[in-house]
A and B are shown apart, each in its own frame.
Chain A
């Protein structure tokens, strides 16, 4: 069962994402700020991180940069789920290493597909590295 960490300070959004992903068989954990997300990613094993941009403590871009800068966590696929939809935000996040970018309000089915795509790509990358 794949483990997914959702980092968003909106508890209701976390509830919606958790409900939809758990229905697909994923195990979902929620945190409400960027610092907690970084701590959990460093201390536990997750298969995907769903990350909001605007959060207390550390914002989403800072968390993304920290994850990608650390060789231990760099391979973790990050799906940005955010209300920011300007060209700079989207391109900045994808250049910064985000696997997918989804804007709020979001289509739950789309998020599920993006998460499974990110997971599939990550397992392919892992297989390639092993071989």
Chain B
């Protein structure tokens, strides 16, 4: 092949390559324009759907006359209502929830609760969390009772709590295997939430000898009920042989704030366990027990640094006008 032939081939190849590049660029531009157009249309559809949903919720638009609402997929409706529920409260919120139930938009995520992958089941819970209606609550209760994966059951319990439908303490203990597993902060939070509606059950469980391991958690949760009627129960636990239970009773008494606890909290200032003494000091301080001042003064010479520190802080609060000093001779037993 002569030189002219080679040059021609190179020129044709270059032109073809350039044409290919131009075509690719044009393709990209067209695709981008199409995506933008699609995004604008999608936003317009979403806006129309939101307006119609709000109109249906306040009764100014009939569902049959709402075009975007009627043509929206169940998934679009679910996401739109879910977003709206995070923005509005009051009667509008209740009507949106009723609308979601009526339009059966929860069927999808409820079905996903039995998906083979745990992550998908958890995702479905996150969606259902905004819909505190009977359908979703009973579906989540089923997950809590029977899901084979512990973490999914834990997530179901937390979701129910966030929806204001925290299960009873007995169900939590059974579903979350609390007799066998160590309790975490999440368990504590769940029990504190449960206290508001299930304080009598907590009181019964606090006397159950098979629940020794989680008794501190149960006793402390009673404090979150802020029910003054349970001060006697806390007094009974203040004499428990487990120092963790005595500490929990003191923390609960502090939260309830009933002055009836002053007497036994003062007695626990002299407990053999350091943590119990510290909690007793905090409780006397919180309840404003001025009768505890002599014992608190003696604790300024306690062997524990933290007992001395907390006692000093409590005395500063209970006797604000009298400067305090450690007794002569420094710390003593």
- A12 to B46: give the CA distance in the assembly, Å: 8
Kindly provide the distance from the CB of B83 to the nearest chain A CB, expressed in whole angstroms: 5
* Contact indicator per residue, chain B 49-65, by CB within 8 Å of chain A (1) or not (0): 01100110010100000
- A68 to B87: give the CA distance in the assembly, Å: 28
List, in ascending order, chain B residues with CB within 8 A of A106's CB.
Answer: 87-89
A105 at the interface (CB under 8 A from B): yes
- A71 to B89: give the CA distance in the assembly, Å: 36
Q: Please count how many residues in chain A sit with their CB below 8 Å of the partner chain's CB atoms.
A: 16
B93 at the interface (CB under 8 A from A): yes
Chain B interface: which of A14-22, A38-46, A122-130? Answer: A14-22
Q: Is the CB of B50 within 8 A of A15?
A: yes
A92 at the interface (CB under 8 A from B): no
Residue of A nearest to B47 (CB): A15
B274 at the interface (CB under 8 A from A): no
List, in ascending order, chain A residues with CB within 8 A of B54's CB.
Answer: 15-16, 19-20, 108
A89 at the interface (CB under 8 A from B): no
Q: Is the CB of A107 within 8 A of B88?
A: yes
B188 at the interface (CB under 8 A from A): no
- A104 to B90: give the CA distance in the assembly, Å: 12
Q: Is the CB of A105 within 8 A of B89?
A: yes
Residues of B286-331 at the interface with A, using a CB-CB cut-off of 8 Å, are none
Query: Is chain A's interface secondary structure helix, strand, loop, or mixed overall?
Result: helix
Q: Is the CB of B51 within 8 A of A15?
A: yes
- A22 to B38: give the CA distance in the assembly, Å: 27
Residues of A102-119 at the interface with B, using a CB-CB cut-off of 8 Å, are 104-110
Given known contacts A13-B87, A16-B84, A23-B60, A108 and B92 CB-to-CB distance under 8 angstroms: yes
List, in ascending order, chain B residues with CB within 8 A of A10's CB.
Answer: 87
A11 at the interface (CB under 8 A from B): yes
B43 at the interface (CB under 8 A from A): yes
* Contact indicator per residue, chain B 73-106, by CB within 8 Å of chain A (1) or not (0): 0000000100111111111110000000000000
List, in ascending order, chain A residues with CB within 8 A of B86's CB.
Answer: 105
- A43 to B83: give the CA distance in the assembly, Å: 33
List, in ascending order, chain B residues with CB within 8 A of A108's CB.
Answer: 54, 58, 88, 90, 92
- A106 to B92: give the CA distance in the assembly, Å: 10
List, in ascending order, chain B residues with CB within 8 A of A23's CB.
Answer: 60
Residue of B nearest to A17 (CB): B87
Given known contacts A12-B50, A15-B50, A16-B50, A105 and B88 CB-to-CB distance under 8 angstroms: yes
Q: Of B55, B89, B93, which one neighbours A19 at CB under 8 angstroms?
A: B55
Residue of B nearest to A81 (CB): B87
Q: Of A11, A104, A105, A107, which one neighbours B43 at CB under 8 angstroms?
A: A11
List, in ascending order, chain A residues with CB within 8 A of B46's CB.
Answer: 11-12, 15
Q: Is the CB of B87 within 8 A of A16?
A: yes
List, in ascending order, chain B residues with CB within 8 A of A107's CB.
Answer: 88-92
- A20 to B88: give the CA distance in the assembly, Å: 12
List, in ascending order, chain A residues with CB within 8 A of B60's CB.
Answer: 23
List, in ascending order, chain B residues with CB within 8 A of A19's CB.
Answer: 50-51, 54-55
A–B pairs, 16, beta carbons within 8 Å: A11-B43, A11-B46, A11-B47, A15-B47, A15-B51, A15-B54, A16-B50, A16-B54, A16-B87, A19-B54, A19-B55, A105-B87, A105-B88, A107-B88, A107-B92, A108-B58
Which residues of B does A touch, CB under 8 Å?
A: 43, 46-47, 50-51, 54-55, 58, 60, 80, 83-93
Shortest beta-carbon contacts, A-B, top 10: A107-B90, A15-B50, A105-B89, A19-B51, A19-B54, A15-B47, A12-B83, A13-B87, A105-B87, A12-B50
